[in-house]
Amino acid sequence: MAASDLLRPALLAAARSPRMERTVTKIPVTRNLVDRFVAGETEDRAVTAATGILDTGRFITIDYLGEDTTDLVQANGTVSHYLTLLSSLAQLAPAAANTREPRSIEVSLKLSALGQFLPRDGHKVALENAHKICSAAEEAGAWVTVDAEDHTTTDSTLSIVRELRQDFPSLGTVLQAYLKRTEADCRDLSGPGSRIRLCKGAYKEPASVAHQGKAAVDDAYLRCLQILMNGQGYPMVASHDPAMINAALQYAAANGRDVDEFELQMLFGIRDTEQLRLIDEQQHLRVYLPYGEQWYGYFMRRLAERPANLAFFLRSLTSTK
């Protein structure tokens, strides 16, 4: 077993540990590394970063970091933040030439940050809050995609997505290939007008619900990707893995998809040179751009995903005086 396979569960567990959060956030060098993956803590910093990315021909999806809230005031505050952000982004969003043309600007939402876990009426509150954001995004000329979280939220999340799509047919959602249920979800959600972001998965999940190990997850990703490319929706291929990207391009060509019928996605701060190379090859590529003060959980999941990220972090620690 690779060292990364041993480290990943520990890092994912640490992502949900308040004690580890207090420890990691107090290390001075952490801030410098976080800036590699997170576009600052303020809306101004996020909009500045977004403008720079758009100027290179890439698309963006912006995530205001936060999750697992059980406080109604905090959930409503997250909604207000997104509404203000979308007002700023409206100035950057060009009008789409036609309904088939992808929108260059998108926001990503975590329903748990919108009240999904509230002890009373969590589903209803999250639905209403997401509806407000979707309405503002439509006015701003932006798309919205609902992020995936751990497997215990999947049924609730997809239920809310289906309700929202009655009013906002372009609403996207994320499916995680490592979950054993995802092939069926891909078939169910790959109809006309659907937008599915397929990622491998970034949470610690038990073997009863999720494939374990890189090879099994890679195989599951390819099966899910083929289902989406064979479908009638708009696949969004979220991966930094060259094998997955090459497969996506091959599947798209085999299904006669043109450049406006799918896109590739990568994270802010990862494989920037490759992102620009793909743009030069006339592919659509969207950058997932997170920002905000609640960066810890996101940051730890990025360390868990790639050994190179963790090695970079450890070198930074040992080189600090």
Q: Which one-letter amino acid corresponds to residue 142?
A: A
Can you name the residues that pair with 61 across neighbouring β-strands? 106, 288
Three-class DSSP category at 265 = strand
DSSP H or E run through 37: helix 28-37
Active-site option among 8, 58, 165, 197:
197
Alpha carbons 289 and 45: distance in angstroms, whole number: 11
Residue 197 annotated in active site: yes
H or E, element range at 226: helix 214-230
Query: How far apart are the C-alpha atoms of 109 and 103, rounded to whole Å?
Result: 17
Whether 181 sits among the annotated catalytic residues: the reply is no
Q: Which of 63, 103, 147, 218 is catalytic?
A: 147
Dihedral sign of CA atoms 289, 194, 88, 80 in order: negative
CA distance 20 to 15: 8
List the catalytic residues: 147, 197
